């Protein structure tokens, strides 16, 4: 991991198309501005962790086949 120290108002350039700016440092929080092309996704890391842990939970299906069957039945019933 590249570690740099920046002050409010200072920036980093990543590749040639992404700029990260420290906008404000207050209390234990840092306000960060990111300029990036629209084709590049920028998101909080927690989002990836949320997806990972949801996958793990969903994968624990083990012996719940009957629950899937009953959910399927409810959905089909709702459609009629």
Binding mask 28-47 for other proteins (x = CB under 8 A): -----------xxxxx---x
Residues 50-79 that bind other proteins (CB under 8 A): 50-59, 61, 64-65, 67-72, 74-76, 78
CB of 10 to other proteins, least distance (A): 26
The site for other proteins, by CB under 8 A, has a size of 30
Q: How far apart are CA 80 and CA 77, in angstroms?
A: 5
């Amino acid at each position: 991991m590249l570690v740099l120290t920046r002050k409010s108002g200072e920036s980093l350039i990543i590749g040639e198309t992404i700029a990260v700016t420290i906008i404000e440092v207050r209390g234990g929080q840092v306000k960060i501005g990111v300029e990036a092309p629209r084709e590049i996704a920028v998101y909080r890391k927690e989002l990836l962790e949320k997806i990972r842990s949801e996958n793990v939970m969903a994968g624990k299906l083990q012996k719940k086949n009957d629950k899937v069957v009953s959910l399927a039945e409810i959905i089909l019933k709702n459609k009629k």
